[in-house]
Amino acid sequence: MKLPIPLGSVEGGCTESQFFVAVSEKLRYIRYRICPGRHLASATVWLTIATVLALFDIRKKKDASGRDTPIESDFTSGTVV
C-alpha cells in the first residue's frame, strides 16, 4: 500500500511503516509548540481562585435569628455570555 509522501522523503511514496516513522519524527516536538499561553492561563485561574478565597468572606446566609439557612441549589442549562 502506497501512502502520501511525507515532507523530506524521496519521490514515489513510501511504505506504511516508513510513513509512520516519518510522521512520528515530525510530531515528536510538536507538544512543545501546542500553546505557549497554557501555563499563563493555568496560573491566572489559580491566582483568581486564590484571590477570591482570600478577599471574600464566604459563609452561609443567616436568618433573622442568627441561624444558618440551608443552601438552595438551583441549576439551569445555558451559556454564560
pLDDT, tens only, 19-68: 777 777 766 666 666 676 778 888 999 999 999 999 998 888 888 998 99
Please check the confidence at residue 80 and state whether its pLDDT lies above 80. Answer: no
Look at the chain and report how many structural domains it folds into. 1
Q: Indicate if the pLDDT at residue 78 is higher than 90.
A: no
The predicted structure's pLDDT at residue 23: 72
Asked whether residue 75 is assigned to any structural domain, the reply reads no
Domain with 20 in it:
16-55
> Is 8 a domain residue?
no
Q: Is residue 3, in this structure, part of any structural domain at all?
A: no
pLDDT at 45: 92
Set of cell numbers at residue 18: 516508513
Cα-to-chain-centroid distance, residue 19: 30
Question: Is residue 6, in this structure, part of any structural domain at all?
Answer: no
pTM of the prediction?
0.39
Residue 63 lies in a domain: no
